[in-house]
Amino acid sequence: MMPETTYLFGGLLGTLTVASLVSTLLSARAGTPDATLVNLDERIKAWWVMIAVLAAAILAGPYTVIGLFALVSFAALREFMTLTVSRRADHWPLFALFFVALPIQYWLVWTNWYGLFAIFVPVWCFLFLPALTVLRGDTENFLYRVAEQQWGVMATVYCISHIAALVWLPIAGFEGRQVLLVAFLLVVVQGSDVLQYVSGKLFGRHKLAPSVSPSKTWEGLIGGLVLASLLGATLWWLTPFTPLQAGGVALVSCLMGTLGGLVASAIKRDRRVKDWGHLIEGHGGMMDRVDSLVFAAPIFFHLVRYGWT
Partner 1 sequence: MSTESFFARALRRTAAAGFAGLARTITGVRPVWAGTAPSAKQRIYFANHSSHGDFILLSSCLPPAERLRTRALAAADYWSKSAVRRFIATDLLRSVLVERDREKRMGDPMQAMLDVLDRGCSLIIFPEGTRNTETEKGLLPFRSGLYNLAVARPEIELVPCFIENMSRVLPKGEFLPVPLLCRVVFGAPIRPEPDEERRAFLERARLSLAALDPKEPRS
First to last CA, the chain: 24
Round to whole Å and give the CA distance between 264 and 103. Answer: 24
Q: Do residues 287 and 278 touch, judged by C-beta distance below 8 A?
A: no
Round to whole Å and give the CA distance between 195 and 173. Answer: 32
Cβ neighbours, 10 Å, residue 194: 16
Round to whole Å and give the CA distance between 107 and 164. Answer: 11
Residue (of 55, 52, 90, 57) closest to 71 by Cα position: 57
Cβ neighbours, 10 Å, residue 211: 9
At its nearest, how many Å lie between partner 1 and the CB of residue 90? 9
The DSSP-derived string for 10-61 is: HHHHHHHHHHHHHHHHHHHHH-S--HHHHHHHHHHHHHHHHHHHHHHHHHH-
149 binds partner 1 (CB under 8 A): no
301 binds partner 1 (CB under 8 A): no
Of residues 79 and 219, the one with the C-beta less far from partner 1: 79
Binding mask 215-234 for partner 1 (x = CB under 8 A): --------------------
94 binds partner 1 (CB under 8 A): yes
Of 76, 83, 157, 297, the one binding partner 1 (CB under 8 A) is 83
71 binds partner 1 (CB under 8 A): no
135 binds partner 1 (CB under 8 A): no
At its nearest, how many Å lie between partner 1 and the CB of residue 153? 13
Task: Name the segment binding partner 1 (CB under 8 A); options: 26-34, 89-97, 182-190, 297-305.
Answer: 89-97
Round to whole Å and give the CA distance between 94 and 99. Answer: 9
At its nearest, how many Å lie between partner 1 and the CB of residue 268? 9
Of residues 191 and 285, the one with the C-beta less far from partner 1: 285
272 binds partner 1 (CB under 8 A): yes
Of 34, 36, 91, 215, the one binding partner 1 (CB under 8 A) is 91
Residues that bind partner 1 (CB under 8 A): 74, 78-79, 81-86, 88, 91, 94-95, 98, 271-273, 277-279
